[in-house]
Amino acid sequence: MATQQLTIPMFPLNVVLLPGETKTLHIFEERYKQLVSDCLENEAHFGIPFVHQKTMGDYGIEVKISNVIKRFDNGELDIAIEGVRVFKLIEFSHVLTPKLYGAGIIEYEDYYETKPSHPLQELIKDYMWVSQQNTIPIDAFDNADLYSVARLVDLSSLEKYDLLKAPSAKDKETILKSKIKLFTYLIKTEAELQSKFILN
């Protein structure tokens, strides 16, 4: 069965959100003020394709506007957005005539709700303990997916993008395991060095 393709408004940014992750945006350009107004009026979502070093990537995140935080007298806005679903960008148009903003043809990924494996659960539990002395409840993973685990880790936008574009759930989990092992090792090593420094 062919994958369904959709057209949604686009707001290219050099930032990556994961599904469920939130962020505040300050909207000041006329085209994006129009985009936000249209989305609010129609209860529609928009897409954020990742832009790095002036190059637009093939993957991004569909977001919803969860709140208008502030409206300014000059028409600018502060809005809160939340990541909804990862997409692959098939085609991008800079201007969606007669609108000022652009749009893209997208395909959604089809393994959004993959549950983390037991080894990954154990790794994130260890990471949360050494980084924050935070114990994760036994039932915390009952409704978890790979992205909810990823949100617990301090990933850069490039690292998040690598996760988004990974071709399968298995590949995404491999990336997460590697990052969590590295971060846990670095935190433990730093703690050991600080302990030795204090003792000396």
pLDDT for the residue numbered 146: 93
More confident residue, 37 or 112: 37
Q: Which residues contact 83 (CB under 8 A, 6 or more apart)?
A: 17, 18, 19, 20, 21, 22, 61, 62, 63
* φ, ψ dihedrals at 100, nearest 5°: -85, -25
pLDDT tens digits for 135-180?
777 677 888 899 999 999 999 999 999 999 999 999 999 999 999 9
Q: Where are the alpha helices (DSSP H) in the chain?
A: 30-42, 118-132, 146-150, 157-165, 169-199
**pLDDT tens profile 2-28:** 568 999 999 999 999 999 999 999 999
Q: State the number of CA atoms in the 13 A half-sphere of 93 facing the CB.
A: 15
What's this model's pTM, rounded to 2 decimal places? 0.88
Q: What is residue 7's three-state secondary structure?
A: strand
Q: What is the pLDDT of residue 200?
A: 52
Nearest Cα residue to 58 out of 98, 24, 91: 91
Give the integer Cα–Cα distance in Å for 190 and 61. Answer: 34
Task: Look at residue 1 in the predicted model and tell me its pLDDT.
Answer: 44
Q: In whole angstroms, what separates CA 83 from the centre of its chain?
A: 6
Q: What's the pLDDT tens digit per position in 108-125?
A: 987 667 889 999 999 999
Residue 11, number of CB atoms within 10 A of its CB? 21
Mapped onto helix, strand or coil, the DSSP state of residue 79 is strand
193 pLDDT more than 80: no
Tell me if the bond preceding 98 is cis, omega within 30° of 0: yes
pLDDT digits 0-9 by tens, 46-67: 999 999 999 999 999 999 999 9
